[in-house]
């Protein structure tokens, strides 16, 4: 028996004597074994200020949350393909964080309402952005193993393609509009520019 295995058995024995509980192995959370959350907990900070203290935690439906984020992160008048790319990014980012909640000053939450995570404003959904969320709701963009990853994004430069972000797994928000409006790319190709190797799947 290796030294490592002897140590593991000794540790297990000590745990039983002491009454500790040993957690089972954590399996990777993928789209194959993890459904969408039904709700999400949003820590509300005053004036959407990232450094403000938490006032309260708001629990609301997951889809409603996404609809109340997209128009605050993507310009609602943008091309519909840009909005669809944004809709999937917003959803995947939020889904990941529902699986990794945190506690701050006694408040347990999944995300907050600021740029610490994504800008959320209750009941701010608009027709075009709501439609983008709804049209892509059964679609996800994930690595080949289906693991649930946050699709990171940044503003980028206005009216620019966001070349610096291509292939970096960080999507340029302005870049999505450029590639949709100027290059006429569908949202799937826009996502692939920024998250190479990821795949569109249906859930």
State the pLDDT at residue 11.
Answer: 36
CB 30 within 8 Å of CB 92: no
Q: Two tokens at 11?
A: 């540790």
- Give the phi and the psi of residue 184 in degrees, each rounded to 5: 60, 35
What stretches in the chain show pLDDT beneath 50?
Answer: 1-25
Where are the strands (E) in 46-130, listed by range? 54-61, 102-104, 107-109, 111-112
Helix axes 80-98, 127-135, angle to 10 degrees: 70
For the beta sheet containing 39-45, the strands, ordered from the edge strand earlier in sequence to the opposite edge, are 54-61, 39-45, 111-112
In angstroms, the CA 21 to CA 131 distance is: 47
pLDDT for position 17? 36
Residue 131: what pLDDT? Answer: 99
CB-based contact 114:45 (threshold 8 Å): yes
47 φ/ψ angles, rounded to the nearest 5 degrees = 60, 25
What does the alpha-carbon distance between residue 155 and residue 175 come to, in Å, rounded to a whole number? 8
pLDDT value, residue 69? 99
């Amino acid at each position: 028996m290796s030294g490592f295995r002897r140590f593991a058995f000794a540790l297990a024995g000590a745990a039983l004597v002491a009454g500790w509980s040993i957690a089972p192995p954590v399996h990777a959370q993928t789209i194959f074994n993890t459904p969408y959350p039904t709700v999400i907990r949003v820590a509300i900070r005053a004036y959407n200020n990232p450094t403000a203290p938490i006032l309260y935690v708001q629990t609301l439906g997951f889809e409603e949350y996404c609809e109340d984020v997209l128009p605050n992160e993507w310009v609602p008048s943008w091309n519909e393909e840009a909005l669809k790319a944004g809709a999937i990014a917003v959803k995947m980012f939020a889904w990941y964080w529902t699986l990794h909640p945190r506690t701050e000053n006694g408040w347990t939450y999944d995300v907050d309402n600021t740029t610490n995570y994504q800008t959320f404003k209750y009941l701010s959904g608009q027709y075009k952005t709501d439609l983008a969320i709804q049209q892509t709701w059964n679609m996800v963009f994930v690595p080949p193993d289906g693991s649930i990853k946050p699709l990171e994004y940044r503003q980028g430069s206005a009216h620019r393609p966001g070349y610096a972000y291509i292939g970096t797994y960080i999507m340029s928000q302005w870049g999505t509009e450029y590639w949709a409006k100027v290059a006429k790319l569908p949202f799937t190709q826009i996502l692939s520019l920024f998250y190479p190797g990821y795949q569109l799947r249906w859930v």
